[in-house]
Structure 1
Amino acid sequence: MTIKSLRILCDVELPDVTIRVWNGGGGVFIDSDGNEYKPAQFTEDALQQIEAAINGEAFMLGLSLVSTTGSAADYVWEYDESMPVQGSPVVVKLQILDEREQPDGEPIVVFSGEIDNIDVADDASEDGITSRVNLEVTNRFTLRNITNGGVLSDVDQRAYSKTLNPSAPDDEFCKRVPLMRDKTVSWPNW
Structure 2
Amino acid sequence: MASLRILCDLYLPDGPRYIWDGSGGPFVDADGNIYRPAQFTEDALQSIEAAINGEAFTLTLSLIGIDTAAGDEIWEYDDDVGVVGSEFVLKLQELDDFDQPVGEPEIKFTGTIDNLDATDQAQDEASTSTVTIDIVNSFTLRTTTSGSVLSDVDQRARSAILNPSAPPDRFCERVPGLRDKTVAWPSW
| TM-score interval, smaller chain | 0.7 to 0.9
The two structures, once aligned, show a CA RMSD in angstroms of: 2.8
Gaps spanning 5+ residues in structure 2: where?
174-188
Give the structure 2 partner of residue 131 of structure 1: 129
Matched, 1:49 2:35: no
Q: TM-score, normalised to structure 1's length?
A: 0.81
Change over 3 Å in CA distance of 1:159–1:86 after alignment to 2: farther
Match of 2:88 in 1: 90
Deviations, residues 93-121 of structure 1 (Å, cap 9, x unaligned): 11100011100011111111001111111
Of 15, 18, 22, which residue of structure 1 is paired with 2:16?
18
Alignment of 1:31 onto 2:36 = no
| Structure-to-structure mapping, 1:160-179, within 5 angstroms | 160-162=158-160, 165-168=163-166
> Does structure 1 retain, via aligned residues, the 8 Å contact 2:142–2:155?
no
* Larger CA Rg, structure 1 vs 2: 1
SS in 2 for 1:48: helix
Contiguous gaps of at least 5 residues in structure 1: 176-190
| SS at 1:73 equivalent | helix
Q: AA paired with 1:134? A: T
Deviation at 1:4, TM superposition (A): 1.5
Q: What does residue 185 of structure 1 align with?
A: none
Tell me by how many angstroms 1:89 deviates: 0.4
Return structure 1 stretches of 4+ with deviation > 3 angstroms.
144-151, 168-175
Secondary structure at 1:137 match in 2: strand
Query: Which residue identity is paired with 2:23?
Result: G
Using structure 2 for the length normalisation, give the TM-score: 0.82
Q: Residues 49 and 159 (structure 1 numbering): CA distance in 2 closer, same or farther, change over 3 Å?
A: farther
Which whole-Å deviations, capped at 9, do the CAs of 1:117-154 have from their partners, x for residues lacking one?
A: 11111111116211111101000111345687754224
State the match for 2:109 in structure 1: 111
Aligned amino acid, residue 89 of structure 2: V
Match of 1:158 among 148, 156, 162: 156
Q: Which residue among 70, 77, 80 is the counterpart of 1:79? A: 77
How many residue pairs get aligned? The number is: 176
The one-letter code of the counterpart of 1:59 is: F
Residue 58 of structure 2, aligned match among 57, 60, 64: 60
In structure 2, the CA distance between the partners of 1:118 and 1:50, relative to structure 1 (3 Å rule), is: same
Identity %: 58
